[in-house]
Structure 1
Amino acid sequence: MSSQNASQPRARRVSKRIGAIAESATLKVDAKAKALKAEGRPVIGFGAGEPDFPTPDYVVEAAVEACRDPKNHRYTPAGGLPELKKAIVEKTLRDSGLVIEPANVLVTNGGKQAIYAAFAAMIDPGDEVIVPAPFWTTYPEAIQLAGGTAVEVLADETQDYKVTVEQLEAARTEHTKVLLFVSPSNPTGSVYTADEIRAIGQWVEDNGLWVLTDEIYEHLVYDGVETGSMPVLCPFLQDNCVVVNGVAKTYAMTGWRVGWMIGPADLVKAATNLQSHATSNVSNVAQRAALAAVSGDLTAVDEMKVAFDRRRKMIVTMLNEIDGVLCPTPTGAFYAYPSVKGLLGKEYDGTRIETSAELAEYILDKAEVAAVPGEAFGSPGYLRFSYALGDDDIIEGITRLQKLFA
């Protein structure tokens, strides 16, 4: 190497765009819990939003058959198997009442890719996306990757973690293009009522915005809450609305990686073009499994929901028995999101704990319980506990916390 070349500064090893992405906090906590378990420590992990049930047998059998069929060993359309897209059309009408066509559907590698593809197709650099907080960790990263800016609007436990039209209006600027809307919510489990959705939908329409609504937890609603899909409750939004969904949570298929986005045909076509270069088609075997899932009845789903409902009531009761913890009762998904502000600013074993991130580290070290701190969701002072794990583990894990803070 010449002296001239040696004196030249090295090029940046990682691009600014990718270097700015934060690791998924929920997956990080889950990975750490699993690593500690592998070392022999009796860690109970409340970190991952992953049903503990196996994928239903009929879905697995469909995948086994698909493996044997050579047609699934080849490339298929980038936007999804025609049979699956048709089934998603029928499933969407059955479950939410939304009328769509196959041209409105893009099958993706899980809901995460659907979210990224939607934002990539909708926004340009300088566009703003209003993101109600607490939010799932992936949303701001996907917005940033697409060149947009996430504008956070915080709703705390006093309003059941649900933003109001007044809050949204206060956050709107001339650069606002999209509202992100999530109900039932990850991480809080909150569910917007039909009337609340109509009010927000009207605000979106009045201001000429787009809306991306994530409905991945649509079947996990409790206590008879009257809710619904935004484009159904607000049909005037259908030309400016993207719906994200998938099989992961409903059918215990997190590892199969099949999701989809539903939207206007031109936007879906643009997102399909992106996917044709990024990944091509989703695994055909996984698509065949998803086809069996969405085409079948909801019996297995209902059975899981009964268990989640039981666990929901159990974990909320036990968390609220801890002095300094306030846990609202979630009405959807499978998460409890208690405020732990009453535990902060105190000394434990000679160490003063000021933040929920520090508290999460403390309980993992001392009680061998893994939870995700609110910092990951844009709302410090909280912890997220997934109750998508066995009853015995929930009881043991929260009992450990009760003893730790007794």
Structure 2
Amino acid sequence: MNTKLPNIPPSIFSVMSRMATDHNAINLSQGFPNFESDPALIKNVNKAMNSGYNQYAPMPGDMGLREIIVAKTEKLHCKKYNPKTEVTITAGATQAIFTAIAATISMGDEVLIFTPAYDCYAPTIELFGAKAIAIQLQAPYFKPDWELVKSKLTNNTRMIIINSPHNPSGMLFTTEDMLDLQNIVVANDLLLISDEVYEHIIFDGKQHESAARFSGLSERAFITASFGKTFHNTGWKMGYCLAPQNLMAEFQKVHQYNVFCVNHPFQKALATYMEDEKTYLSLPKFYQEKRDYFITQLQDSRFKIIPSQGTYFQLLEYSQITTESDITFAEKLTKEFGLATIPTSVFNNNKEDFKQLRVCFAKTNETIDAACKILNSI
């Protein structure tokens, strides 16, 4: 058969997690917590199952959950979405991103992405006959160069994809960044996917600049988010998408023939759980304590660390330790030292290597202690 994605290797997350298992290594590679979800949320799931919510949910999602999302977005970002026509509950944020691209991108289109980029963007763009145009963010701060963005625009440019808080760098788009982005997408009549899966994991008193906050963006944006990232249950594969009615109508045409609907009792459980806004508003403090604990443990190491501004990832720059490529160094750390990390060059345009590894600090303090002992020994 003729493969539609001939140049797609196995995911680096699968590779490193398998290597971690094979070598009995501490796994700081894949982005998932190693502590349990809130027992109250698990109790809500059991209650929903025992209450009979075990058949198909409505195609756009449970109305109670959609209403909670709308209320949260209006309170945090001063943007009112219609829960009936502008919200869809999805099987994780990756499915939401896939569906938004599938619904709007055609053969010959171009989509601008910022690299390092989450690894689902480019393959999905290519799957629908379009071209991903990479705009490389530069270490160590990974700030967007908006003049460079403008230089990449052509008559075929259809969409821009952004991710803030940014994986893997932990960078945040500022208000000024979002205003520059708004000027570009409005002037060039572009669509936007705003990947906001770490929307509630922000540090040092900073604010998440959602695309919902900017009228010129929100009227042409698919905003995607993840309950799995937010509530420590990535295995549930639960997310959502916000978009204006005209875009959401196209989104749901694909969604209904892709997954149709997603896990009903989980939706009921989340709707009840999120009635208490502290369930998500407490997350910055919770994760900043973990970030700070992790960084403090490494203050005497040979790694250079610029504290992450958001997400539950931290970059470790290792140029003072070795000149090896990040892939080689990550493999050595796993096989010889018993610690799995992610080499970041795999997310960069042309595999540019900034001598940085990405680690996930959404771990118990015991795991962080063990990992930092290894890192400090290098």
TM-score normalized with structure 2 length: 0.91
Partner of 1:117: 99
Alignment partner, residue 398 of structure 1: 372
Matched, 1:23 2:4: no
Cα distance change, pair 295–147 in 1 and its aligned pair in 2 (3 A): farther
CA 1:21–1:286 in 2, change beyond 3 Å: closer, same or farther? farther
1:234-245 aligned at under 5 Å gives the runs 234-245=214-225
1:326 aligned counterpart, secondary structure: coil
Q: How far is 1:144 from its partner?
A: 2.1
Structure-to-structure mapping, 1:66-145, within 5 angstroms: 66-70=48-52, 72-102=53-83, 103-145=85-127
Partner of 2:332: 362
| 2:295 is the counterpart of 1:312 | no
Distance 2:220 2:93 in 1: 19
Rate the CA distance shift 1:334–1:59 in 2: closer, same or farther, 3 A.
same
Contact 2:125 2:131 in 1 (8 A): yes
Aligned to 2:247: 267
Q: Matched residue of 2:173: which SS?
A: coil
Aligned to 2:232: 252
Query: How far did 1:212 drift?
Result: 0.8
Decide whether aligned partners of structure 1 residues 341 and 210 sit closer, same or farther in structure 2, where only a CA change above 3 A counts. farther
Query: In the alignment, what sits opposite 2:152?
Result: 171
Give the deviation of 1:316 after TM superposition. 3.5
Specify the code of the residue in structure 2 equivalent to 1:310: E
Q: Distance in 1 between matches of 2:97 and 2:334?
A: 31
Q: Take 2:60 and 2:8, find their aligned partners in 1: how far apart are those partners?
A: 27
Instruction: Name the SS for the 2:112 alignment partner.
Output: strand
One-letter identity of the residue aligned with 2:331: E
Partner of 2:196: 215
Letter of the aligned partner of 1:356 in structure 2? Answer: D
Amino acid at match of 1:338: L
2:305 matches 1:331: no
Which of 62, 66, 85 is equivalent to 2:44? Answer: 62
Q: Deviations over 1:84-140 (max 9, x none)?
A: 222221222123222100201111101110010011112112111111111112222
Distance 2:227 2:134 in 1: 28
Q: Classify the secondary structure of the residue corresponding to 1:277.
A: helix
Contact 1:194 1:226 in 2 (8 A): no
Q: How many residues get paired?
A: 373
Residues 30-57 of structure 1: per-residue CA shift (max 9 Å, x gap): 2432454xxxx3x211112123332222
The Cα RMSD (Å) is 2.1
Looking at structure 2, the residues matched to 299 and 170 of structure 1 have their Cα atoms a distance apart, in angstroms, of: 42
CA distance in 1, matches of 2:289, 2:77: 25
CA distance in 1, matches of 2:205, 2:299: 23
The worse-fitting range, judged by mean Cα deviation, of 194-203 and 108-117 is 194-203
How far apart in 1 are the matches of 2:105 and 2:298? 40
Provide the rounded CA distance (Å) in 1 between the counterparts of 2:344 and 2:15.
Answer: 14
- Residue 288 and residue 227 in structure 1: after superposition, are their counterparts in 2 closer, same or farther (change >3 A)? closer
Q: Is the Cα–Cα contact under 8 Å of residues 273 and 279 in structure 2 kept in the other structure?
A: no
Amino acid at match of 2:342: V
After superposition, the C-alpha distances for 1:344-391 in whole angstroms (9 at most, x for unaligned) are 43xxxxxxx3x1111110110111000011132114232111111122
Report the TM-score when normalising by structure 1: 0.85
Structure 2 spans left out of the alignment, 5+ residues: none
Give the Cα separation in 2 of the matches to 1:293 and 1:66: 12
Structure 1 residue corresponding to 2:359, chosen from 374, 385, 390: 385
What is the CA–CA distance in structure 1 between the aligned matches of 2:7 and 2:252, rounded to whole Å? 26
Shift of 1:301: 5.3
Tell me the distance in 1 between the aligned counterparts of 2:152 and 2:320.
29
- Equivalent runs, 1:14-53 vs 2, <5 Å: 15-18=2-5, 20-36=7-23, 41=24, 43-53=25-35
Q: CA deviation at 1:156?
A: 1.9
CA contact (8 A) 1:239 1:263 kept: yes
8 Å Cα contact 2:19/2:334 also seen in 1: no
Change (3 A) 1:132 1:318: farther
1:154 deviation in Å? 1.2
Distance 1:331 1:127 in 2: 33
Match for 1:328: what amino acid?
A: I
1:205 paired residue among 166, 186, 205: 186
Distance 2:212 2:169 in 1: 23
Q: 1:152 to 1:230 in 2, by over 3 A?
A: same
State the shift of 1:342 in Å: 4.2
Matches of 1:260 and 1:270, distance apart in 2: 15
For residues 12-35 of structure 1, what are the alpha-carbon distances to aligned partners after superposition, in whole Å with 9 as ceiling and x for unaligned? 2xx512554443322432243245
Q: Looking at secondary structure, tell me which structure has more helix per residue.
A: 1
- What is the distance in 2 between the residues matched to 1:399 and 1:171? 44
Match of 1:375 among 333, 339, 345: 345
Whole-angstrom CA distance in 1 between matches of 2:68 and 2:31: 26
Q: Which structure carries more relative contact order (alpha carbon 8 Å, separation 6+)?
A: 2
Alpha-carbon contact 2:110-2:131 (below 8 Å) kept? yes
Distance in 1 separating the partners of 2:230 and 2:105: 29
Aligned to 1:154: 136
Q: In 2, Cα distance between the equivalents of 1:319 and 1:357? A: 22
Q: How many Å apart are 1:292 and its aligned residue?
A: 2.3
